[in-house]
Amino acid sequence: MSSKNTMIAITTSWNEQASFRLIPTELECPYNEVIYDPESKTLAIISKDKKDTFQMLPKLDPNGEIQPLRKVPASGRKIAEERKMMQTYYEYYITDKSEMIEFVKHFASNHETFNYSEILG
């Protein structure tokens, strides 16, 4: 099974800057989404594979409302939080421009016609 050309590149924006995303077009694509962050010049890759991780989440009262802290600590945090185990997607980050180009060429079926190199700078 080959995952080559299982995504398509689309134009989008990120924090009001020109950007692009890759979205899957085939079920065998190993990624949910790929996002280019022009501010940090990073290609963020979100896998379909999940892992168990601890996350700090707002603590809820019996009515489902976020519980405020009675006394604000030095950290300035104003809501109660609790540590919960959750499933999250694996994330990968590419910061080297030539490696980003190779990734897009491998996965984007429209890499020859989509002008992502202009967005990469």
Determine, yes or no, domain membership for 58. Answer: no
Determine, yes or no, domain membership for 110. Answer: yes
Phi and psi at residue 105, to the nearest 5°: -60, -35
* Averaged pLDDT score across all residues of the chain: 93
The number of folded domains in the chain is 1
Q: What percent of the chain has pLDDT over 90?
A: 83
Determine, yes or no, domain membership for 12. Answer: yes
Task: Point out which residues pair with 14 in neighbouring strands.
Answer: 17
Task: Point out which residues pair with 37 in neighbouring strands.
Answer: 42
pLDDT digits (tens, 9 = 90+) for 55-72: 999 999 999 999 998 888
| In contact, 53 and 86? CB cutoff 8 Å | yes
Distance, CA of 43 to CA of 92 (rounded, Å): 8
Backbone CA torsion sign across 79, 84, 86, 91: positive
- Give the range of the structural domain holding residue 21, as residue numbers without chain letter: 7-52+87-120
Task: Return the residue matching tokens 């990968």.
Answer: 92
Tell me the mean pLDDT in the region 66-91: 90
Distance, CA of 22 to CA of 78 (rounded, Å): 37
Determine, yes or no, domain membership for 96. Answer: yes
Tell me the mean pLDDT in the region 93-101: 97
